Amino acid sequence: MYQILTKIAIIITGILLVPVHLFGDNDGVTSASGTITGVVLDATDSQPILSAAILLEGTDRGITSHRDGDFIFRNVPAGRQIIRTQHIGYRVDFTAVDVAENDTAHVVIRLFPEAVRSRDVIVTDDYIRDDRTTGVERVLTGRSLRQQLGRTIAETLNDEPGLSQRSMGPAPARPVLRGLGGDRLLILEDGGRTGDLSATASDHALAIEPMTAEHIELLRGPSALIHGGNTMGGVINVIRGQIPLDWPDHFHASGSLQGESVNSGLAGGLRLYGPVTENFAFRMDGSIRSSQDISTPLGTLDNTGIETYNASIGLSYIRPWGIIGVSGNILDTSYGVPGGEGLAEAHPNGVNIEMFRRYTEFKSRFRMPGDFLSRLDVDATYSFYRHKEFERTRFSDGRRVIGSEFGVLTTNAKAHMHHNEWSAADKGLFGVWVEHRDYASGAFSETPATIERAFAAYTFQEKDIGDWNLQAALRFDMRQVSPLRERNSVLIGQIRERNFSGLSSSARALYYISSGLTLGTSFITSFRAPGIEELYSEGPHLANFSFEKGNPNLNAERGWGTEVFIKGRTNQFDYHLSFFRNQMNNYIFPRDEGRRATRRDDLNVFLFQEQQVLMAGFELDLRYRISNNWTLSGVLNYVRGDFIDDDSSFPFLSFGDSDVSVPMMPPLSGRFNAEWSGGNLRLGATTRFAAEQNRVDEFEQPTNGYVLFDIFAQYNIITGSVLHTFSLNAENLLDTEWRNHLSRIKEIYPEPGRNIRLLYRFYF
Amino acid sequence: MYKINPKIAFFIILSFSVLVLSSCEDNPASPEFDEDHADAFGFELLMDGEVLVHYLFREYTLDPDGHFTDFVEDDRLVFDTSVIGGNVTNNITKRYLDEEGEPFTLPEYEQERNGLFGEWYITFRFFNPGTSTDIPIEERPLSEIYDRFEDTWVFAFDLSHSGEVDLRLDLFHIDHEDLTPRPLRIEVRANESDSAL
């Protein structure tokens, strides 16, 4: 009953936050707004461009251009707006538009082919710079997303600077940024928390199907702090667009079909988006993925198949005063985690995992009258998550041996008040967020059923001063973790309610030295309350090859990080070089104790503990245009993780003498890329590499370095009003045996061998 | 004076109602069904009322009271058919120990609760010595005689030929293991006069 009352309280809070102007006599425009119409053209021949992505910066509104290249945004707030436009084979364009009240502004956007350089495109207005206001550091979309689209979000992002993937077979993979994984790198879907358990263990898959992603954003620094106080790594926001935020004037559809050879895999998806009535818009999508066991240079990796079914539907009511929308989606997936002699004694044949998530979302955007507030966003989500792990092929009589079982019911609500110029800030927002989480585990696990309640209040502010752009964020978090039954455990101690609270903050400064050169620095202090699993785990986690022991006495994890970067752009060169240093005073992680569990002799004990750690490194991202057709690019990543003593590491990189590393640190890695483009065709070759990693934790295995060779081709063609795109990738051409250091099964199983992958997509 | 627009109010109420109704459900991994785990930290195997094997906190003690000197050799149990007097051992009874090493009783099988699994029962895993590789049934030097539905805690061994195994006696609770001990090394020695072996 208390649980239900809490949820109702959350929702009532949301209702109370609905702005008063909704309750007026009319639902007409209550603040100044206008319309933007436009056309997207090829700058070289003035031909219209179909299906260009047109985004209204600073909002989450976006549409695509029609057959004649035209588009329309209605109910756009009066004042200066920035339109971001991107399309396959063209450079991203930013165009400023002044919108007058009750008027229509018309804009012509000319996109330059990516290989053609024009300074006019780089800076068309003093206001337009690469790192403006949204705080989005990188966006993976369009051609890049299709080229990199993998079986998981982690695999899709794996080639991005600073990113690597934690894995345990092909399905359960999660991105790791600069060595920071788990919930230190928050992963969102349409800005909302996923409600899954992928942050807590290597065998838990992320409940997002990459086929559904329209684009993927990476946020860091102050803008990431809006989403969590524990985002030292950053935030990955997978934009699916389940709730339409713009009213389309006709139907749009896109479809995908992907096949790959390494696992005889096939995936397909369909997405529809269009108007229902004058004020309603809908969006729906569905996808299916099916793959068999994956091939490696050493043979087939048994029990690595994936079956996923995914569907969503969203409906929104769009008026001049704002938008209200609801959506629901389901994800039903089953996948295998391989076993093997010497690794998984408890289940030598592997583990099968069944995962189901049902997700309901409410989203609203209210335009606010007056000079101070510009917009109010009120969002709420509910997710039902179930996850079962079965030992594979144990009994012949049909009995299924369940190793672990988890259920999580999560309710979230948040409100963001965006404001215009206020005090010293040009703009910013104030926000509150609440969460109720009902966690339970079944099977042998004695991890107690637990209720988590969390609250956060935060602000983000931004200011432009001359050639400087400044951002700052401050956040206060409270979290209560309440086991339903308090008791004294023989194995882990007193299981009791814990309460955590703390401040986190971040600031970022950019200095525009010249039109193509930017110097920046950022600072973050993080606060992270330990999770239920970290506090109270007490039992076998079959698919994770572990008997997990929590520590009810853990403290909140606090850390601070700094980063200095320089990015530049000339006619031929783009470059971005970052140095970073992240220190956590009590980094919480599960550590292999190197001994068997008292009650499960077939599993090693992993004990959650806290230690002071330092992670530091750099990222280099280069692009060199040799000619209009040829481009070379490359990425280099390095991070080193050390256990350090109190106060011994300040101010910068005074590592300890120990060879023992923080576990699961990625090695030095990178890629080189050579690309030819001409017309609708693009060809390229990529070399991926990683150095050996021999700085490991006590019971962790080192891995050898590797070099892999890939080639790719992309082609797009327009027939009628339909854009067709084809992406062909041939990966690991030499069928090289290689190991991912962040794989929990690296000791006995290599990563996938040679793979041919073909993706077809259409848009209209 | 503000008045609510009925269309907007209806849509908001409908949206939140969907959230409220969908969130009023029980956790699918509710602990109610599984909260009565057996707090077993060890077990004893008794033959003829005496302790043949004592296991607690991952340590085996064989024949702690000195009643079965013929069955114990170094770190293993030895079943010699001349000692057994046939191919089938006497009945062996298993009982569980708590963290203090005190025996405690698990409830008997209740068929109405779960007909497929039973509630608590023993499973037998035969590994090649020193490995976690299962030995096929036909190659095992001994196999269990056990009916988990009739007599949950009593079993015997049927000896078929000479050889060694690592035997693991898992305690199952419905569909999962509540205690997975270290394997116990057992050697079967065939009596040459026993033609059946």
Same domain (yes/no): A141, A100: no
* pLDDT for position A346: 59
Give residue A460's pLDDT band: very low, low, confident or very high (50, 70, 90).
Answer: very high
Confidence check: pLDDT of B1 > 70: no
Cα B57 from Cα A601, distance rounded (Å): 10
The values of phi and psi at residue A714, to 5°, are -135, 140
CATH for B156: 2.60.40
Same domain (yes/no): A297, A157: yes
Question: Of the given ranges (A303-307, A387-391, B18-22), which has the lowest mean pLDDT?
Answer: B18-22
Cα A234 from Cα A183, distance rounded (Å): 10
Identify whether the C-beta of residue A558 lies closer than 8 Å to the C-beta of residue A572.
no
Q: Is B54 part of any domain?
A: yes
Q: Is A219 part of any domain?
A: yes
Same domain (yes/no): A552, A701: yes
Contact B28 A490 (CB under 8 A): no
Shortest Cα–Cα distance, A391 to chain B (Å): 9
What are the residues facing A513 on neighbouring strands?
Answer: none
Cα A218 from Cα A115, distance rounded (Å): 25
**In this predicted model, what pLDDT tens digit does every residue of A141-199 receive, in sequence order?**
777 787 788 888 888 888 888 999 988 888 888 999 999 988 899 999 998 998 888 88
What integer is the mean pLDDT of A299-326?
Answer: 90
Q: Is B13 part of any domain?
A: no
Q: Is B26 helix (H, G, I), strand (E, B) or coil?
A: coil
B155-165 in b/e form (b: 16+ CB < 10 A) is bebebbeebbb
Shortest Cα–Cα distance, A374 to chain B (Å): 20
What integer is the mean pLDDT of A708-719?
Answer: 92
Of A122, A152, A175, the position where a domain reaches its end is: A122
How buried is A341 (Cβ within 10 angstroms: 0-12 exposed, 13-18 middle, 19+ buried)? exposed
What integer is the mean pLDDT of A449-454?
Answer: 94
Of A122, A145, A174, the position where a domain reaches its end is: A122
Contact A601 B178 (CB under 8 A): no
Give residue B22's pLDDT band: very low, low, confident or very high (50, 70, 90).
Answer: low
Confidence check: pLDDT of A135 > 80: no
Same domain (yes/no): A111, A211: no
Same domain (yes/no): A247, A278: yes
* pLDDT for position A603: 84
Q: Is A26 part of any domain?
A: no
ipTM value, please give it: 0.79
How buried is A370 (Cβ within 10 angstroms: 0-12 exposed, 13-18 middle, 19+ buried)? exposed
Winning range, highest mean pLDDT, from A46-55, A541-550, A718-727 = A718-727
Identify whether the C-beta of residue A446 lies closer than 8 Å to the C-beta of residue A539.
yes
The values of phi and psi at residue A221, to 5°, are 80, -145
Contact A400 B175 (CB under 8 A): yes
* pLDDT for position A511: 93
The values of phi and psi at residue B43, to 5°, are -155, 170
Q: Is A180 part of any domain?
A: yes
Nearest to A716 by CA among A668, A679, A671, A661: A679
Confidence check: pLDDT of A15 > 60: no
Same domain (yes/no): A113, A258: no
**In this predicted model, what pLDDT tens digit does every residue of B166-197 receive, in sequence order?**
999 988 877 677 888 999 999 998 765 554 44
| Residue partners of A244: CB distance under 8 A and separation at least 6 | A273, A281, A282, A283, A314, A315, A316, A318, A325
Kind plus residue range of the DSSP H or E element containing B11: helix B6-23
* pLDDT for position A121: 32
Confidence check: pLDDT of B113 > 60: no
Q: Is A130 helix (H, G, I), strand (E, B) or coil?
A: coil
User: CA of A599: which chain B residue's CA is closest?
Assistant: B179
* pLDDT for position A591: 86
* pLDDT for position A158: 85
Of A62, A93, A122, the position where a domain reaches its end is: A122
Q: Is B32 part of any domain?
A: no
Cα A63 from Cα A72, distance rounded (Å): 8
Cα A310 from Cα A211, distance rounded (Å): 10
Q: Is A745 part of any domain?
A: yes
Q: Where in A27-90 does DSSP place strands (E)? A: 33-42, 53-56, 61-64, 70-77, 79-86
Give residue A394's pLDDT band: very low, low, confident or very high (50, 70, 90).
Answer: low
- Report the amino acid identity of residue A583: Q
Question: Of the given ranges (A114-118, A493-497, A568-572), which has the lowest mean pLDDT?
Answer: A114-118
Question: CA separation (Å) from A22 to A166, A370, B7?
Answer: 46, 14, 11
* pLDDT for position A401: 74
Cα A712 from Cα A159, distance rounded (Å): 14
Confidence check: pLDDT of A506 > 80: yes
Domain count, chain B: 1
Q: Is B27 helix (H, G, I), strand (E, B) or coil?
A: coil
What integer is the mean pLDDT of A104-131?
Answer: 54
- Report the amino acid identity of residue A350: G
Shortest Cα–Cα distance, A169 to chain B (Å): 22
Question: Of the given ranges (A622-626, A722-726, B22-26), which has the lowest mean pLDDT?
Answer: B22-26
* pLDDT for position A34: 83
* pLDDT for position A245: 86
* Token couple for B129: 């010595």
Q: Is A25 part of any domain?
A: no
Pairing of strands A185-189, A234-239: parallel
Cα A670 from Cα A162, distance rounded (Å): 9
Confidence check: pLDDT of B164 > 90: yes
User: CA of A18: which chain B residue's CA is closest?
Assistant: B12
Question: Best of A204, A376, A602 to disrupt the B interface by mutation (most B CBs within 10 Å)?
Answer: A602
User: CA of B33: which chain A residue's CA is closest?
Assistant: A442
What integer is the mean pLDDT of A464-471?
Answer: 91
Higher pLDDT, A741 or B24: A741
Q: Is B180 part of any domain?
A: yes
Q: Is A130 part of any domain?
A: no
A contacts of B171 (beta carbons < 8 Å): none
Confidence check: pLDDT of A35 > 80: yes
* pLDDT for position B8: 64
Cα A322 from Cα A246, distance rounded (Å): 10
Q: Is A417 helix (H, G, I), strand (E, B) or coil?
A: strand
| Residue partners of A262: CB distance under 8 A and separation at least 6 | A294, A295, A731, A752, A753, A754, A755, A756
Question: Of the given ranges (A141-145, A270-274, B123-127), which has the lowest mean pLDDT?
Answer: A141-145
Contact B182 A601 (CB under 8 A): yes
CB atoms within 10 A of CB A227: 23
Q: Is A162 part of any domain?
A: yes
* pLDDT for position A86: 80
Tell me which residue range forms the domain holding B182: 38-104+112-189
Shortest Cα–Cα distance, B81 to chain A (Å): 30
* Token couple for B161: 């030929």
Question: Best of A444, A445, A595, A604 to disrupt the B interface by mutation (most B CBs within 10 Å)?
Answer: A444
Identify whether the C-beta of residue A231 lies closer than 8 Å to the C-beta of residue A526.
yes
Q: Where in A604-721 does DSSP place strands (E)? A: 604-625, 630-643, 669-678, 681-690, 706-719
Q: What is the DSSP letter of A393?
A: S
Question: CA separation (Å) from A621 to A47, A279, A571?
Answer: 33, 45, 16
Give residue B152's pLDDT band: very low, low, confident or very high (50, 70, 90).
Answer: confident
B contacts of A15 (beta carbons < 8 Å): 12, 16
Same domain (yes/no): A586, A625: yes
Same domain (yes/no): A216, A69: no
How buried is B1 (Cβ within 10 angstroms: 0-12 exposed, 13-18 middle, 19+ buried)? exposed
* Token couple for A633: 């690019």
* Token couple for A548: 């997990």
Nearest to A226 by CA among A129, A137, A135: A135
Q: Is A519 part of any domain?
A: yes
Same domain (yes/no): A224, A97: no
What integer is the mean pLDDT of B142-158?
Answer: 87
| Residue partners of A410: CB distance under 8 A and separation at least 6 | A193, A195, A381, A382, A383, A385, A435, A436, A437, A438
Torsion angle of C-alpha atoms A676, A679, A680, A686, degrees rounded to 10: 10
CATH for A334: 2.40.170.20
**A360 vs B19, B131, B179: nearest CB:** B19
Identify whether the C-beta of residue A508 lies closer than 8 Å to the C-beta of residue A580.
no
Q: Is B196 part of any domain?
A: no
Same domain (yes/no): A502, A384: yes
Cis (ω within 30 of 0) for the bond into A651? yes
Nearest to A207 by CA among A330, A391, A337: A330
Higher pLDDT, B105 or A752: A752
Cα B117 from Cα B89, distance rounded (Å): 26
B contacts of A411 (beta carbons < 8 Å): 19, 23
Q: Is B45 part of any domain?
A: yes
What integer is the mean pLDDT of A554-562?
Answer: 94
Shortest Cα–Cα distance, B44 to chain A (Å): 15
By 3-state DSSP, what share of chain A in percent is helix, strand and coil, each rounded to 5? 5, 55, 35
Same domain (yes/no): A74, A166: no
Contact A596 B5 (CB under 8 A): no
* pLDDT for position A151: 85
The values of phi and psi at residue A538, to 5°, are -160, 80
Confidence check: pLDDT of B7 > 70: no
Same domain (yes/no): A655, A514: yes
CATH for A86: 2.60.40.1120
Tell me which residue range forms the domain holding A168: 2-17+135-527+535-763
Domain count, chain A: 2
A contacts of B96 (beta carbons < 8 Å): none
Kind plus residue range of the DSSP H or E element containing A119: helix A119-122
Give residue A713's pLDDT band: very low, low, confident or very high (50, 70, 90).
Answer: very high
What's the mean per-residue pLDDT of chain A?
Answer: 85
